[in-house]
Amino acid sequence: MAVKNYVLDTNVLLHDARAFYAFADNNVIIPIYVIEEIDTFKKDQSELGRNARQVARLLDQYRSEGGLSHPQKMETGGTVRVALSKNPIKNPSYDSRSMDQRILEIALEVRDADLKTPTILVTKDVNMRVRGDALGIASVDFEPERISIDELYPGNREVLVPAGTIEEFYAQGSVVVDTSGLHANEFLTL
């Protein structure tokens, strides 16, 4: 399968701080404007703030290997880099629409710099996907691997035991049950 360039929007990283690991052995490009927007959330005490701080810490790990202006190899086999715009800013205002426009401009620059490698804009913003599509950039929603609710660890389980075990529990206040694969602090219903 051919390598692809994935340009991430701010909302993807605020949604999942580890999102850039979800693109396997492809190239992940984070526009510098995404870093600027994430920086505005780092002091929030919400999940957005926690994710913003985690994104900064995760990206900081890659700075020592030649800097993030160059693709840095990740454990997934892909690369991550922060992209700066090579063109002057077209609209100097700092509202969210202009930041989106700047992110789109970097996606266009990435695409145009290497026409042989597919470039895909990843955003949770439906209007940003529409705008990207109108500019000729493949645009997708960020939907990491979905996990079935049945696959999640519930924290408890039911164990079938002989009636005598229940009587022993009531008489002694505790009982040893031979059950494999228990997790720490797992709750058992006998």
Question: What is d(CA 130, CA 154) in angstroms, rounded to the nearest whole number?
Answer: 39
Nearest alpha carbon to residue 129 among 150, 107, 146? 107
Reported as a single tens digit per residue, the pLDDT across 57-91 is 888 888 877 788 888 888 888 889 999 887 765 55
Two tokens at 71? 């693709």
DSSP 3-state of 112 = helix
Mean pLDDT, residues 143-160 taken together = 65
Average pLDDT, the chain: 84
Mean pLDDT, residues 28-50 taken together = 89
Show the domains of the chain with their CATH numbers. Answer: 5-140 (3.40.50.1010), 149-189 (no CATH)
Reported as a single tens digit per residue, the pLDDT across 87-111 is 765 554 444 558 888 899 999 999 9
Nearest alpha carbon to residue 6 among 120, 108, 96? 120
